[in-house]
């Protein structure tokens, strides 16, 4: 009878186990950035789709009414361009709830909640806590601000690099009597296509629809989509749905303090921010884009086309 052969199987030694764990950790470390990159690419694509949808809605409004919607009104209903285009982004039921005869649309504003958030107004790369219908920090007397990440381009604030002349703009006091002195908030530019009480026709965009910005990302803090001329419907010096172009993309606001209506455009996308042109196309603007080029893109008839990239 043959004696049983001793088993040749053995377990992993401690050193071998540590090597395997190290290899797995290395592979995970290599894969995670790739996974993150794929996810960000998908979010950036969705963000671009949002901007295209909004810009096409603006063009549809211009085709139907002969002009782009007002960026926001300083009198009457005081509602934003976001509210005006709701029927053109499949939000007719939400538009029907707005009281267009009441200042600020207050009756509907008090009843809206997270359930009424408009996904097309949110950049998916922004933190989830800003992708919501209301935010409590701006509730004043029961009035809620409804958040959005896409501001209309009011125009540039500064000097036209082609003509050497200042771009047109209104001081805060010029568009609201309660704003003066230290409450200037940088005023509101009027050289773009969406500003307070604007009614810009496509024919007036003389620099060309494909060379002129209509909408830009501004995800560095929440602003309202319902209000047009005031952030919380009670803060008349600060526009909510439109912003000036005065600083570079993703410019650090702390360098200049609170810049009011000129708070810089920017995003959570690496390297820059997305924007929509007046022809409905979407364009990614790098952080390194010179401010003179941004001025050229933000003005509708500045004749600075030669400066564009």
Give the per-residue pLDDT at 116.
66
pLDDT of 57-94, one tens digit each? 999 999 999 999 998 877 666 788 998 999 999 988 88
Range 126-133 average pLDDT: 62
What angle is formed at CA 138 by the lines to CA 225 and CA 248, rounded to 5 degrees? Answer: 60
CA dist 51 and 49 (Å) reads 5
Give the per-residue pLDDT at 102.
65
Residues 6+ apart with CB under 8 A from 138: 144, 145, 222, 224, 231, 232
Residue 121 has pLDDT above 60, yes or no: yes
Range 231-236 average pLDDT: 53
Residues 6+ apart with CB under 8 A from 31: none
Give the per-residue pLDDT at 114.
56
Give the per-residue pLDDT at 136.
40
Q: Do 240 and 82 touch, CB atoms closer than 8 A?
A: no
CA dist 70 and 13 (Å) reads 73
Task: Provide the 8-state DSSP code for 237.
Answer: T
Task: Provide the 8-state DSSP code for 300.
Answer: S
Lowest-pLDDT range of 106-115, 133-142, 251-260: 133-142
Q: CA 262 from chain center: how many Å?
A: 13
Residue 13 has pLDDT above 90, yes or no: no
Give the per-residue pLDDT at 194.
95
pLDDT band with cut points at 50, 70 and 90 for residue 29:
confident
Range 10-29 average pLDDT: 78
pLDDT band with cut points at 50, 70 and 90 for residue 49:
very high
pLDDT of 207-225, one tens digit each? 999 999 999 998 765 577 7
Q: Do 171 and 306 touch, CB atoms closer than 8 A?
A: no
- Token pair of 79 as six digits: 């509602």
Mean pLDDT of the chain: 79
CA dist 287 and 16 (Å) reads 47
Strands (E), the chain: 147-148, 150-156, 169-170, 188-189, 213-217, 223-224, 242-245, 272-277, 282-286
- Token pair of 206 as six digits: 């003389």
For the chain, domain boundaries: 40-307
Residue 103 has pLDDT above 90, yes or no: no
Dihedral angle, C-alpha 273, 258, 58, 92, nearest 10 °:
110
CA dist 160 and 167 (Å) reads 6
Residue 199 has pLDDT above 70, yes or no: yes
Strands (E), 221-296: 223-224, 242-245, 272-277, 282-286
pLDDT band with cut points at 50, 70 and 90 for residue 138:
very low
pLDDT band with cut points at 50, 70 and 90 for residue 305:
confident
């Amino acid at each position: 009878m043959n004696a049983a052969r001793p088993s040749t199987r053995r377990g992993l030694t401690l050193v071998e186990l540590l090597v395997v764990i190290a290899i797995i950790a290395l592979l995970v470390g290599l894969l995670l950035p790739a996974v993150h990159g794929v996810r960000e690419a998908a979010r950036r694509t969705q963000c671009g789709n949002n901007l295209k949808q909004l810009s096409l809605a603006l063009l549809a409004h211009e085709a139907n009414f002969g002009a782009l919607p007002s960026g926001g009104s300083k009198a009457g209903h005081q509602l934003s361009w976001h509210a005006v285009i709701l029927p053109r982004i499949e939000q007719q039921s939400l538009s029907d709830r707005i009281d267009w005869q009441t200042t600020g649309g207050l009756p509907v504003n008090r009843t809206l909640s997270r359930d009424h958030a408009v996904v097309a107004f949110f950049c998916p790369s922004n933190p989830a806590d800003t992708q919501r219908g209301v935010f409590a920090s701006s509730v004043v007397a029961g009035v809620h601000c409804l958040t959005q990440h896409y501001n209309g381009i009011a125009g540039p604030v500064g000097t036209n690099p082609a003509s050497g002349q200042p771009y047109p703009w209104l001081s805060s006091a010029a568009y609201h009597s309660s704003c003066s002195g230290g409450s200037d908030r940088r005023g509101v530019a009027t050289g773009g296509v969406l500003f307070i009480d604007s009614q810009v026709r496509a024919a007036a965009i003389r620099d060309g629809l494909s060379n002129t910005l209509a909408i830009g990302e501004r995800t560095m803090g929440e602003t309202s989509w319902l209000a047009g001329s005031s952030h919380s419907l009670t803060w008349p010096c600060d526009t909510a749905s439109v912003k000036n172009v005065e600083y570079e993309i993703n410019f650090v606001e702390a360098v200049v303090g609170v810049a009011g209506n000129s708070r810089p455009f920017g995003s959570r996308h690496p390297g820059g921010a997305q924007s929509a042109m007046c022809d409905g196309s979407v364009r990614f603007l790098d952080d390194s884009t010179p401010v003179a080029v941004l001025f050229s893109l933000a003005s509708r008839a500045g004749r600075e086309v030669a400066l564009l990239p």
